[in-house]
Amino acid sequence: MVRMNKIWSTISVLVLLNLILSCGQSTQKQLDKSANALRTCADEQVLTSNQQTTIRQQINADEKAQQIERIFQQKVREGLNGNVLVAQKGMVLYKHCFGLGHFERGARDTLVEDSKFQLASLSKTFTAVGTLKLIELGKLNFEDTIQKFYPEFPYHGITIRQLLSHRSGLPNYQYAFDDSMKVNFYKKEKPYPTNATIMHWFATVKPTPHAYNVPGRGFSYSNTNYMVLASIIEKVTGKSYEAYIHSAIFEPLGMHQTFVATTKNDSLNYHRTAGYQWNRRIPKDYYDDVVGDKGIYSTIGDLFRWYRALNGDCVLQKKTLKEAFIPRSFERKGAKNYGYGFRMMLNDSNQPEFIYHSGWWKGYNTMFWFSPKDEYVIIMLGNKYNKTVYRVKELIDVLHGGGKNSEVTDDAEAEI
């Protein structure tokens, strides 16, 4: 009898292991299929030489390029240091590299097209799309709560939907913990915390840091939302955030110069810039290894690929991408709003006229701005903090005549 029980116990364990392995293999097959479809669609977005010739004439490309050149020369006079790209109808109108990747004597290097910049909060667009892809595959649900994946997380009733739209009320992890805790962690563990560290702190620190708001009550921009989403991605896929985003988005799109800051691949770090403010290089930050809310490095060329994939409905099903671009917060009147990982400027009918995300992190500031209707994109990546990166109105005026809601001027848009 005892022997039979042991046999049945062994069989049960084997069956359970088989189920676990088959589920993991099923998930990977779905991800591979999704990546292949994305790769095919992305290839189809590249214009032929004949198409470029036709479009160049239709949009007066040469005249626009001259006007754009004058605008950027003025930005350089105002201190712009970085790489820029402006494209319309799938064709690059203007791209240029202004300044240096490093300013120290003996290490100065001129920026090139493959220079890599910390995207700061622009990284959130990738985390959002990565999350939405898992929802399409049935691995996540908009109404899943954090406790489904992290039972010890102390804030209850917060859904994936609320994390994506910054309506969770979660406090910003950067300011939530006492400095003494950081010092003790530095001494006992390792110099820099990761996502797992922050999730553990939230679960164990007493008293629990105060929430900004109750879930769903209002919009409250917090980097914690996207740090948590990246952590959930890791739980669901069994991969690191870096590995998942690379295989699901970067590699299929041919974004070979784009990587997460925690990567150990030295070849990807080639032409990696440093961030500066007031002519001072910003050293590695305590929270640099926390990702999802920031932490992706990329180039103007790779971000143009990202735009083409978004504009061509490649990265997600049309209905899912449409969901991402729906404004979610109307507690305050105004043109600015937020969807799932994307900011937007609304027209008089409260529909998105412009989709964008900006960023700031330790000397880097970035802007990724596009018009779904007029099919243009403005990409500015800077590594020496300068507010002109957030000023897009003059460029919009050239591309399609401008609009009353087209200017981004305040630092609130530059939160990481």
Q: For the packed helices 393-400 and 61-77, what is the interaxial angle rounded to 10 degrees?
A: 170
- Side-chain half-sphere exposure of 208, counting CA atoms within 13 A: 15
pLDDT above 60: residue 388: yes
Per-residue HEC secondary structure of the chain comes to CHHHHHHHHHHHHHHHHHHHHHHHHHHHHHHHHHHHHHHHHHHHCCCCHHHHHHHHHHCCHHHHHHHHHHHHHHHHHCCCCEEEEEEECCEEEEEEEECEEECCCCCCEECCCCCEEECHHHHHHHHHHHHHHHHHCCCCCCCCEHHHCCCCCCCCCCEHHHHHCCCCCCCCHHHHCCHHHHHHHHHHCCCCCCHHHHHHHHHHCCCCCCCCCCCCCCCCCCHHHHHHHHHHHHHHHCCCHHHHHHHHHHHHHCCCCCEECCCCCCCCCCCECCCEECCEECCCCCCCCCCCCCCEEECHHHHHHHHHHHHCCCCCCHHHHHHHCCCCCCCCCCCEEECCCCEEEECCCCCEEEEEEEEEECCEEEEEEEECCCCEEEEEEECECCHHHHCCHHHHHHHHCCCCCCCCCCHHHHCC
Q: What is the pLDDT of residue 56?
A: 87
Overall average pLDDT of the 173-182 stretch: 86
Q: Which residue has the tokens 């961030």?
A: 275
The pLDDT confidence band at residue 37, using thresholds 50, 70 and 90, is: confident
Q: What is the pLDDT of residue 271?
A: 93
pLDDT above 70: residue 303: yes
pLDDT above 80: residue 22: no
Q: What is the pLDDT of residue 410?
A: 41
The residues near 357 (Cβ < 8 Å, ≥ 6 apart) are 121, 122, 124, 125, 341, 342, 343, 368
The pLDDT confidence band at residue 224, using thresholds 50, 70 and 90, is: very high
Overall average pLDDT of the 124-141 stretch: 98
Structure tokens that stand for 114 in this block? 């493959």
pLDDT above 60: residue 12: no
Overall average pLDDT of the 106-110 stretch: 91
Give percent of the chain with pLDDT exceeding 70: 86
The residues near 266 (Cβ < 8 Å, ≥ 6 apart) are none
* Residue 238 identity: G
Overall average pLDDT of the 40-66 stretch: 85
Overall average pLDDT of the 137-156 stretch: 98
Structure tokens that stand for 28 in this block? 């990977």
Tell me how far apart the alpha carbons of residues 86 and 304 are, in angstroms, rounded to a whole number.
9
Higher-scoring residue by pLDDT: 17, 315: 315
pLDDT above 70: residue 6: no
pLDDT above 80: residue 209: yes
Ordered by start, the domain boundaries in the chain are 31-414
> Which pTM does this prediction carry?
0.89
The residues near 121 (Cβ < 8 Å, ≥ 6 apart) are 223, 293, 294, 357, 358, 359, 360, 361, 366, 414, 415, 416
The residues near 62 (Cβ < 8 Å, ≥ 6 apart) are 56
The pLDDT confidence band at residue 411, using thresholds 50, 70 and 90, is: very low
Q: What is the pLDDT of residue 359?
A: 98
Question: Is residue 209 within 8 Å of residue 303, measured between CB atoms?
Answer: no
Overall average pLDDT of the 371-380 stretch: 96
Using DSSP bridges, classify how beta strands 91-98 and 352-361 pair: parallel, antiparallel or unpaired: unpaired
Higher-scoring residue by pLDDT: 9, 202: 202
Structure tokens that stand for 352 in this block? 């998105």
Overall average pLDDT of the 239-261 stretch: 96
Overall average pLDDT of the 191-217 stretch: 93
Tell me how far apart the alpha carbons of residues 383 and 111 are, in angstroms, rounded to a whole number.
10
The pLDDT confidence band at residue 53, using thresholds 50, 70 and 90, is: confident
Tell me how far apart the alpha carbons of residues 106 and 96 are, in angstroms, rounded to a whole number.
24
Residues constituting the chain: 416
The pLDDT confidence band at residue 414, using thresholds 50, 70 and 90, is: very low
Question: Is residue 68 within 8 Å of residue 94, measured between CB atoms?
Answer: yes
The pLDDT confidence band at residue 5, using thresholds 50, 70 and 90, is: low
Higher-scoring residue by pLDDT: 407, 75: 75
- Mean pLDDT taken over the chain: 88
Q: What is the pLDDT of residue 268?
A: 81
Radius of gyration of the chain (CA): 23
The pLDDT confidence band at residue 61, using thresholds 50, 70 and 90, is: very high
pLDDT above 80: residue 203: yes
81 burial level (CB within 10 Å; 0-12, 13-18, 19+): buried
Q: What is the pLDDT of residue 80?
A: 98
For the segment(s) 31-414, the CATH number from 3.40.50.300, 2.70.240.10, 3.20.20.10, 3.40.710.10 is 3.40.710.10
pLDDT above 60: residue 51: yes
